[in-house]
Amino acid sequence: MLLAFSVAPTTGDESGGVAEAVAAAVRVVRASGLPHETTSMFTTIEGEWEECFEVVRRATEAVVAVAPRVSLVIKADIRPGFTGQLRAKVERVDRILGEQNPA
C-alpha cells in the first residue's frame, strides 16, 4: 500500500507556520524504517496496512502533543502484491514522458 497523509496543527506559530509540529510527525515517519517521501504538502509511506496506519497514528499523536487541534488527511493506493511502488509509479511516468520528448 502507498499511503499519503498530511497532519498539521490547525493553528500555526506567530507567522502562521506549522513547520515545527510537522517536523515532529516527519521524525516519526523517518524512524519507522518504511520507505517514504515527504513533499511540501504530503508524506507518502509504503508498507502493509497495519504498519502504515500505525505510523500515521504515531505521527498524529506527535502533532497532538504540541497543538490543541489537528487536521489529518489520508489517501491510500491499495494494491496487494505490489511493492516498490513509491518510486516505480514515478519512473513509469518519467519513462513515458522521456519517450514523448526526446532530449
Residue whose grid cell is 505510523: 55
pLDDT for the residue 16: 65
Rounded CA separation 93/90 (Å)? 5
Structural domains in the chain, sorted by start:
2-100 (3.30.70.930)
pLDDT tens digits for 90-100? 999 999 999 87
Query: Residue 13: pLDDT above 80?
Result: no
Rounded CA separation 44/22 (Å)? 14
pTM of the model: 0.86
Rounded CA separation 45/51 (Å)? 10
Rounded CA separation 83/103 (Å)? 30
pLDDT tens digits for 44-88? 999 999 999 999 999 999 999 988 899 999 999 999 999 999 999
pLDDT tens digits for 31-49? 999 999 999 999 999 999 9
Rounded CA separation 86/19 (Å)? 24
Which amino acid is residue 84, in one-letter code?
A: G
**Mapping DSSP to helix (H, G, I), strand (E, B) and coil, where does residue 7 land?**
strand
